[in-house]
Amino acid sequence: MVTLEQMRASNARIPECLPAGLVAVFVGGTSGIGEATMKELAKHAVQPRIYFLGRSERAAVRITNELAAINPGGQYHFLQADLSLLQTVDEVCYELKGHEGVINLLFLTAGTMVTGKETPEHLYYPTALNYYSRIRLIVNLLPLLQKAPFLRRVVTVFGGTKEGAVSVGDLQGRSLGLPLSSRTCPPTPPASTSSPPRPTPSPTSTGTSPLNNPKHHASHLAHLRAHTASMTTLALESLALEAPDVSFVHTFPGFVRSTHVGRELRKGGKAAKAAAAAASGGNGGVGLMRSMLNKMVSSTSGSSASVVSSLAEAGERQLFVATSGRFPARSRGWGGRNNSTGGMSTASTATGNSVLSAGGNGTAGVVLVEGSGVNVARGSDARQGSGVYSVGLDAEAKGEEAVRRLREEDLVRRVWLHTIGEFLRVTGTEFV
């Protein structure tokens, strides 16, 4: 485990370890954890160029002013987009490629807890935003990440270490956790360019959606999170095969005082309101989030979820994940090494500190300091420094056994084929 103090110490070394002009893209930077991490990066990076994506122009104006006040030497650009649509994701990627030739950091937080509706592209809305859209962004921007001369990293903030069962017959996750009697979702068709629209969970014989029942809704969210967390880690493993020179981290941020998800949940129609009311006991905002998340975590992992951190702390923790040499890319050759430093050599910084060198070209990020107690992390395949990491708020891996079982079921390949199939169906291309 990495303590908050160790994370802060690493973040403080960003100016000496990462060159000026770092390019970062924050997908979901208009609130919550994305906004907080972006501000932490602006605090520490030298002349960063930061792009942030979301729908809210009002939030973007406020945040741009705040970023400029934090670091006047940086450049900050907002790109407005509804990222639940893959066609829009492609347009944003074209725009980014028009501005930048390399990207050092792709940081993904755009997400929702709204359930029970689908996008015009016939994807289940929460899965479109939490999974398909994020993976599409990674695939499209991978060549720019691979060209970065230092720090090549993707961080997706969702359910790292919370991987669970994958429902092969319902990969979009429309009916997960709902009573069998209400499941109308047909099996996901094999990858093809012509899969038909699929219905959302249908009304029962009494005329109400099962999602109107708070118990079913909480169960749906819990199963959907475990399923989507697994899909995410498995997809990152496929992407790392394609790009072994980029590191991929899937994190669970802990419970963060971010009222935006709660607000959206309350806006999300009758079903969401019913679940929200039941979960929050009327105290809204943080109470709602904590209560919902407690239900979700305890129902999937049996653990209690009482720790709630501030947004500022979440930003510090996630900035560590986004920049530390603890998470090197696979091609750096750590895989299979079993010593605590991942086989790194010792070097000195400009300030004379003894550091663990990340193998020469510095693409691993902020180099680790020998004796600091922070070492190269175990990857999702349980091997140290293997390039794909699934970690909790303490930057520690946990779910390797669950992921190993999924891998043995050939789900890395099956999930990837499904994902590409949906990309082809919706956009006609595997990437742009």
Ligand X SMILES: NC(=O)c1ccc[n+]([C@@H]2O[C@H](COP(=O)([O-])OP(=O)(O)OC[C@H]3O[C@@H](n4cnc5c(N)ncnc54)[C@H](OP(=O)(O)O)[C@@H]3O)[C@@H](O)[C@H]2O)c1
Q: Select from 24, 289, 368, 374 the one that contacts ligand X (CB under 6 A).
A: 289
Q: Is 130 in the site for ligand X (CB under 6 A)?
A: yes
For ligand X (CB under 6 A), the number of binding residues is: 32
Q: Is 407 in the site for ligand X (CB under 6 A)?
A: no
Q: Select from 16, 82, 95, 245 the one that contacts ligand X (CB under 6 A).
A: 82
Q: Is 297 in the site for ligand X (CB under 6 A)?
A: no
What is the distance between the alpha carbons of residues 272 and 74, in angstroms, rounded to a whole number?
A: 39
* Three-class secondary structure of residue 292 per DSSP: helix
Nearer to ligand X, 159 or 342 (CB): 159
Where in 110-129 is the site for ligand X (CB under 6 A)?
110-112, 129
Structure tokens at 201: 């969970």
Q: Is 397 in the site for ligand X (CB under 6 A)?
A: no
Question: Is the alpha carbon torsion for 289, 290, 293, 295 positive or negative?
Answer: negative
Closest C-alpha among 347, 218, 103 to residue 356: 347
CB 253, min distance to ligand X, A: 5
What are all long-range contacts of 63-71, with beta carbons under 8 Å and residues at least 24 apart?
63/29, 63/30, 63/35, 63/38, 66/39, 67/38, 67/39, 67/42, 70/39, 70/42, 70/43, 71/42, 71/43, 71/45
Q: Is 261 in the site for ligand X (CB under 6 A)?
A: yes
Backbone angles phi, psi at 176, to 5 degrees: -60, 135
CB 407, min distance to ligand X, A: 24
Q: Select from 18, 23, 33, 403 the one that contacts ligand X (CB under 6 A).
A: 33
| E strands, 160-296, in order | 247-251, 255-256
Q: Is 140 in the site for ligand X (CB under 6 A)?
A: no
What is the distance between the alpha carbons of residues 302 and 227, in angstroms, rounded to a whole number?
A: 16
Q: Return the range that interacts with ligand X (CB under 6 A); candidates 105-113, 198-206, 414-422, 424-432.
A: 105-113
Nearer to ligand X, 308 or 420 (CB): 308
Q: Which residues bind ligand X (CB under 6 A)?
A: 28-34, 54-56, 59, 81-84, 109-112, 129-130, 157-158, 252-253, 255-256, 258, 260-261, 289, 293
